[in-house]
Amino acid sequence: RVSELVRLQAADIDSSRMLVIVRQGKGRKDRVVPLSAKLLELLRTWWRARRPERWLFPGKPGGGHLTTPAVQRLCQQIRQETGLAKRVTPHTLRHSYATHLLEAGVDVPTIQKLLGHGDLATTARYMHVRSERLQSLSSPLDLLDGLFDAIPPSAGQPSTGGPS
């Protein structure tokens, strides 16, 4: 969640365990999410350049942390600079994260925990399956070799006479 992102502090990055600690997220719950090695390098570069005192992403000098609307504006600026036609928001990135986890084979309860959802139905709304993925799936019936070989060709066809 973007509201959780802007409230991160440097101490919330646990590089020894490769985790980000989300403190007091939605519902006042703490949780951990995996930290990508690539993201860790970017965060280290950011930290060395800016040396933020409290907030990992500080707002205006002397103020608090970066605001949620500022991150949303930044997403729109990046979208325009890159020429992306699709709408990009921090929330669409959250949906993409859930979808990519699902496509990578991560089980739904784990995705639920990573997203910080209390209700599995909420998590289900975040996961989208690409049509290409659906087309590439094989039917479980295809795994049942020989099952249909024992069924006579006339089975299932309507009979023309009465009961025999």
53 contact partners, CB below 8 Å, separation of at least 6: none
What pTM, to 2 d.p., does this model score? Answer: 0.67
Radius of gyration of the chain measured on its C-alpha atoms: 25
Q: What is residue 96's three-state secondary structure?
A: helix
Q: Is 7 exposed, middle or buried, given 0-12, 13-18 or 19+ CB atoms closer than 10 A?
A: buried
- Tell me what pLDDT residue 91 has: 87
Type of residue found at 15: S
Q: Which amino acid is at 33?
A: V
Range 156-161 contact pairs with CB under 8 angstroms and sequence separation of 24 or more: none
Give phi and psi for 141, each to the nearest 5: -65, -30
pLDDT of residue 25: 76
pLDDT digits (tens, 9 = 90+) for 69-113: 999 999 999 999 999 888 888 888 888 888 888 888 888 888 888
Catalytic residue positions, numbered: 1, 26, 91, 94, 117, 126
